[in-house]
């Protein structure tokens, strides 16, 4: 059974349909990268799947269970199963790294503080910040803040992690440390969707690459298939363009 199964998904912003006929099946532990031109619908797909934008049509199953996006309680429950990290990390400035990671599990979920703290410390250690638990965001570099945001996203023990251009706002020298963190998580078997312009990273880390254009999935395949032997004209054009840069 796929961990996430998307069938014939459609979504719109007002009158503008931005996703259409999206079909995608993802097994547990897969690393799926979404690539495609600006405006092709990559972020929108992640928004729909996390319940930030209700789909108009189609179905999504998580671990075999149909997700009811019209049901607020179901969408709230979904937020602990699918976590999303954006380009803008939006940490609470008045809280330490540790407090940022602990806030949702303790305040919203009411999980026992001691266990949450232990888990938060292990997460911050995993992202290479075990020595900066008490640091406030303004005492951390952009890359470090983004790694706190990734640890925070993992604090609710999600099944699936979405990373939407998490390195796009960072200075080039900070990109590597965040990619190293993502690479380490990928090897731990967490299912991930990654939107990234770092094509060599996408190629190395992905089990599956999905090329989107104009709100459609144009082509899906292994990194080798997509980058070395694309089947569709639009994929070839896109890949040709990005590999020239």
Ligand X SMILES: Nc1ncnc2c1ncn2[C@@H]1O[C@H](COP(=O)(O)OP(=O)(O)OP(=O)(O)O)[C@@H](O)[C@H]1O
The footprint of Mg ion (CB under 5 A) covers 43
Say whether residue 55 binds ligand X (CB under 6 A). Answer: no
Q: Helix, strand, or coil here: 104?
A: helix
Q: Which two tokens stand for residue 127?
A: 């992202």
Contacting residues for 53 by C-beta, under 8 A, at least 6 apart: 11, 13, 44, 47
SS3 letters for 129-187?
Answer: CCCCCCCCHHHCCHHHHHHHHHHHHHCCCCCEEEEECCCCCCCHHHHHHHHHHHHHHHC
Say whether residue 13 binds ligand X (CB under 6 A). Answer: yes
Say whether residue 40 binds ligand X (CB under 6 A). Answer: yes
- Shortest distance in whole angstroms from residue 228 CB to Mg ion: 25
Say whether residue 235 binds ligand X (CB under 6 A). Answer: no
Of 13-21, 120-128, 141-149, 152-160, the segment contacting ligand X by CB under 6 A is 13-21
- Shortest distance in whole angstroms from residue 43 CB to Mg ion: 3
Q: Which is nearer to Mg ion, 43 or 167 (CB)?
A: 43
Q: Which is nearer to Mg ion, 88 or 115 (CB)?
A: 88
- By the criterion CB under 6 A, which residues form the site for ligand X? 13, 16, 18, 36, 38-44
């Amino acid at each position: 059974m796929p961990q996430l199964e998307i069938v014939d998904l459609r979504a719109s912003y007002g009158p503008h349909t931005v996703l259409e006929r999206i079909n995608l099946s993802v097994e547990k532990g897969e690393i799926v990268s979404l690539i495609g031109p600006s405006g092709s619908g990559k972020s929108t797909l992640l928004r729909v799947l996390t319940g930030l934008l209700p789909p108009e049509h189609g179905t999504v199953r998580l671990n075999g269970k149909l997700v009811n996006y019209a049901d607020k309680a179901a969408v709230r429950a979904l937020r602990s199963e699918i976590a999303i990290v954006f380009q803008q990390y939006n940490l609470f400035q008045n809280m330490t790294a540790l407090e940022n990671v602990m806030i949702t599990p303790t305040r919203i979920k009411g999980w026992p503080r001691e266990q949450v703290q232990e888990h938060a410390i292990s997460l911050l250690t995993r992202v290479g910040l075990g020595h900066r638990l008490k640091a406030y965001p303004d005492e951390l570099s952009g890359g470090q803040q983004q790694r706190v945001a990734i640890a925070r996203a993992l604090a609710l023990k999600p099944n699936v992690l979405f990373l939407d251009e998490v390195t796009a706002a960072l200075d080039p020298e900070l990109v590597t440390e965040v990619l190293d963190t993502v690479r380490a998580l990928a090897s731990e078997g967490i299912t991930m969707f990654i939107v990234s312009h770092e094509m060599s990273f996408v190629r190395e880390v992905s089990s599956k690459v999905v090329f989107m254009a104009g709100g459609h999935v144009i082509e899906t395949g292994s990194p080798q298939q997509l980058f070395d032997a694309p089947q569709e004209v639009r994929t070839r054009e896109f890949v040709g363009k990005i590999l020239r840069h």
